[in-house]
Amino acid sequence: MLTSIKTNEFAGSESKKLAMMYFRVAIILFGAQLLMGLIAAIQFLAPGFLFEVFDFNVARMVHINALVVWMLYAMIGSVYYLLPDEAGVETVGVGLGKLAFWVLTAAVTVVVLVYIFIQVGPGKESTIWLINEGREYIEAPRWADIGIVVVVLIFYWNVFATYMKGKQTGILTVLVADLLALAGLYLAGMFFTDNISMDQYWWWWVIHLWVEATWEVFVGSLAAYGLIKIIGAKREIVEMWLWIEVLMLFGSGILGLGHHYFWIGTPEYWWEIGALFSALEPVPLVAMFVHVLYDWGKEQGKAKAEGKEGAVMNNGPAMAWIVTNAFGNFLGAGIWGFFHTLPQVNIYTHGTQFTAAHGHLAFFGAYATILIGMMYLGVQGAYGIEKLRATFKSKMAIFLITFGVIGMTIALTIAGYEQVLVERAELGGGWSAFFTAQNLPWYVQAQMWRTIMGVVTFVGFVYLVWDLLTIGKQAKQGAKAA
């Protein structure tokens, strides 16, 4: 079975080239995200830094919007990458897909330039249409929203048509259904109401139902595909896991939405619903964790028994990132999420740096990791390499980025803990309590450590880009020499 893995059957296909185009923009936006994060982190320590030139709210907005957009780019890239392999045919409509890529990239560029140079507008409809819609994470102005919908329709059509034309594997069936939900949810964040409770009610549909339902199912499919490609895992087994995960993720994640409805003016029954279902959310994350590690261990054991160690791993860096994903998803989303998900706890932790600690580890652990893994698969495909071995730079990248993000998470958890004790429990919340807590040493030192760990993350990112740019050529030359 292991020898029958055809890593490069569709290497050089137009779909995979388009995937690489998406990956390249994704990594550029990832870099921009980190730089904006560093600016915002410095502003915590020196509030005057870039004051009225590039304020905290702007740096923060670009930071988290770039995060969402680079991940969506990498997700679209991943789909274009795996589609021909799974369906067994070249992707339908790649030409149109390329056009959509350029339209999307032009739109994203304009939106980012407006964020950076115009920043804010008057509280009028024109601001919503042209500058910024003011919904955290998905602040793109309305003209861009509409453009995004058109581009996504083209993308979805390509995926669907390819699915209908080729093989309908379990992985693809899950993806086709999941992408429909993922894209459809975006619409919930596009209309405006001037009732803040209602606005937040719908806005959470996008954010929560993305990251805790549809995106999680998406990475489940990526992990399934990755395990088949990289270690030759048995399709029946990974697909069985995938279906179980889908059932559990949707079972807990959809009503888990309630944990964002505790304090925004929605009926109180959300306390019970949110507490119960969101507390169940770590269960599927354990399943995903076990799935990756179990399959890996099993394949490794089998290969060893057959005396062909090494045959089971044809992309070292991608596998390292997928294993990091299994741990990171469980820790960041499962554990750090569970910490503050019960209303009895959340009443104290809501909106503190604790939330930011969870946000960082969850987005990184659950999504950044596996999407970086897909980029390594992309490089392998682009260069037609049978076996991609980790280089020194691959190791530095994964070590420094993971160490940096875990360091930031620990620092922010400490800052959040201090806020819970001082600002909330001791001083009872409120504006002056907020500032008192922010000026105490535990908080200030935690913010300093977060900034240092942010720099570590950024150095890791530099290694990552360097590695992605060179590892393919290097492996190809190595193979030739051998």
Residues at the contact surface with Fe ion, assessed by CB under 5 A = 208, 212
Q: Distance (Å, rounded) from C-alpha 306 to C-alpha 298? A: 12
Q: Of the two residues 82 and 333, which places its CB atom closer to ligand HEM in the complex? A: 333
For residue 172, the minimal CB distance to ligand HEM (Å) is 23
For residue 259, the minimal CB distance to Fe ion (Å) is 5
For residue 39, the minimal CB distance to ligand HEM (Å) is 8
Q: Determine the residue with CB nearest Fe ion.
A: 208
Q: Of the two residues 16 and 208, which places its CB atom closer to Fe ion in the complex? A: 208
Q: Of the two residues 271 and 383, which places its CB atom closer to Fe ion in the complex? A: 271
Q: Considering CB distances under 5 to 8 angstroms, the limit depending on partner class, which of Fe ion, ligand HEM, none binds residue 317? A: none
For residue 453, the minimal CB distance to ligand HEM (Å) is 8
Please report, as ranges, the residues that interact with ligand HEM according to CB under 6 A: 34, 37-38, 40-41, 44, 60, 63-64, 67, 136, 211-212, 259, 278, 281-282, 333-334, 337-338, 340-341, 346, 350-351, 355-356, 358-360, 362-364, 366, 368, 405, 454, 457-458
For residue 55, the minimal CB distance to ligand HEM (Å) is 12
Q: Of the two residues 44 and 163, which places its CB atom closer to ligand HEM in the complex? A: 44
Q: Considering CB distances under 5 to 8 angstroms, the limit depending on partner class, which of Fe ion, ligand HEM, none binds residue 63? A: ligand HEM
Q: Of the two residues 141 and 359, which places its CB atom closer to Fe ion in the complex? A: 359
Q: Determine the residue with CB nearest ligand HEM.
A: 337
Q: Distance (Å, rounded) from C-alpha 343 to C-alpha 348? A: 9
Q: Considering CB distances under 5 to 8 angstroms, the limit depending on partner class, which of Fe ion, ligand HEM, none binds residue 368? A: ligand HEM
For residue 34, the minimal CB distance to ligand HEM (Å) is 4
Q: Distance (Å, rounded) from C-alpha 4 to C-alpha 24? A: 30
Q: Of the two residues 77 and 359, which places its CB atom closer to Fe ion in the complex? A: 359
Q: Considering CB distances under 5 to 8 angstroms, the limit depending on partner class, which of ligand HEM, Fe ion, none binds residue 281? A: ligand HEM
Q: Of the two residues 41 and 397, which places its CB atom closer to ligand HEM in the complex? A: 41
Q: Of the two residues 92 and 213, which places its CB atom closer to ligand HEM in the complex? A: 213
For residue 225, CA distances in Å to 87, 99, 139, 177, 316 come to 12, 27, 32, 16, 15
Q: Of the two residues 204 and 225, which places its CB atom closer to Fe ion in the complex? A: 204
Q: Considering CB distances under 5 to 8 angstroms, the limit depending on partner class, which of Fe ion, ligand HEM, none binds residue 338? A: ligand HEM
Q: Considering CB distances under 5 to 8 angstroms, the limit depending on partner class, which of Fe ion, ligand HEM, none binds residue 178? A: none
Listed in sequence order, the residues at least 6 apart from 333 whose beta carbon sits closer than 8 Å to its beta carbon are 211, 212, 216, 281, 282, 285, 362, 365, 366
For residue 332, the minimal CB distance to ligand HEM (Å) is 6
For residue 352, the minimal CB distance to ligand HEM (Å) is 7
For residue 52, the minimal CB distance to ligand HEM (Å) is 18
Q: Considering CB distances under 5 to 8 angstroms, the limit depending on partner class, which of Fe ion, ligand HEM, none binds residue 366? A: ligand HEM
CB 209 within 8 A of CB 189: no
Burial class for 344, CB neighbours closer than 10 Å (0-12, 13-18, 19+)? exposed
> Which structure tokens are listed for 383?
């260069």
Q: Considering CB distances under 5 to 8 angstroms, the limit depending on partner class, which of ligand HEM, Fe ion, none binds residue 405? A: ligand HEM
